[in-house]
Amino acid sequence: MSAPHSSPAPIHLAVALDGAGWHPAAWREPQARPRDLLTAGYWADLVTEAERGLLDFVTFEDALGLQSSHFAEPDERTDQVRGRLDAVLIAARVAPLTHHIGLVPTVVTTHTEPFHTSKAVATLDYVSAGRAGLRVQVSARQHEAAHFGRRTFPRLRIEDLDAPEVREVTAELFEEAADYVEVVRRLWDSWEDDAEIRDAATGRFVDRDKLHYIDFEGRHFSVKGPSITPRPPQGQPVVSALAHRSVPFHLVAGAADIGYVTPHDATHAGAIVDEIRAAQAAAGRAEDLVHVFGDLVVFLDDDPAAAARLARLDGLAGYAYTSDAKVFTGTPVQLADLLLQWQRAGLSGFRLRPGVLGHDLRAITRGLVPELQRRGAFRRAYEADTLRGLLGLPRPANRYAAAV
């Protein structure tokens, strides 16, 4: 039993949902449901379990190429999960089956249009009554670009990430992503909140003066606007991004509400938070609330079996699992210790990646959550009806509405 703790500030918790789990052999576990991965019921069950644990939100992974054991190119493996459903459509399907938890699909900005994304996520916000978010992701993978035929990239290897030509491509992709988010946000504001009149007696459905051209002109996009979807219930659904180093840290600081980061210890977490806060100030957002969540892959067991379970899964996969994020094996009590330590370094929340969804999601909701509640570090009931509300983010004013 761990020592008594004084009550810390409440932690925000999310889970990242991907296939059968983040370990490539997760689908072979007894608790996995490999025949159900492409069914609505499977995803509804996962999100319902996450909501049972009072989590802030779930993210849905997505990509424009098949999953691969290689960093930047397809593989020929047939012993791992391949194929996925569209993240935005999964979120829209499960939204009516849930009531409080936020729903945050991933969208690859590199090959999609911000106009399409703005109306899709605005629609998700309506379907969920104010619980939508967006995780923006970039891609420089050659095989994904080949699906669209509009641009090309040099061959990318993980060992070349610091090469000048790769750094240049990366910087451009994240600059494009920042413009993408700006266009999406402007489109969400392009209808004022009271633009719809809906007065059958006078025949006036909409006040055209309260629909606005956004007139965005940049290096990457030229978008007239307005949107075809009225302003979402949250005003601005929550925007998030995964960030590993300085260039994406600046995207988080300048454009996002949440950044997911991958520290390897508390000292590293503190340094990342400091860099993001400095970048926020430089971007003129020093007063804005920007959450910094630590990402961890978790294998949880009530006894010292977690490491043995990971080793067994590695044996099934044929190699030792590694990740961009820290891989944690241990008990929910030990994980609670680590989260609170990293919280003291400046993180406001955590996005946990269950190694095996059929096992580790329940270990989070029924093991970790009660332990954090015991320490006064996690909610005992949902206290808001929107995702912005759960995260303590105010509903922003519309940038185009005339000041009263």
Strands 291-300 and 326-330: parallel
Is 117 annotated to bind a ligand? Reply is: no
- Give every CB contact of residue 296 below 8 A, 6+ residues apart in sequence: 325, 326, 327, 328, 335, 338, 350, 351, 352, 353
Please, are residues 315 and 341 in contact by the beta-carbon 8 Å criterion? no
Across 181-211, b (16+ Cβ under 10 Å) vs e yields bbbbbbbbbbbbeebbeeeeeeeeeeeeebb
346: left (phi over 0), alpha (psi -120 to 50) or beta: left
User: Residue 396 carries which DSSP code?
Assistant: P
Cβ neighbour number for residue 37 with a 10 Å cutoff: 17
| CA 174/CA 117 separation, integer angstroms | 17
- Tell me the helix, strand and coil percentages in the chain, rounded to 5: 40, 15, 45
106 is in an annotated binding site: yes
Whole-angstrom distance, CA of residue 189 vs CA of residue 262: 32
| Residues in the annotated binding site | 62, 106
| Residues in the annotated binding site for FMN | 62, 106
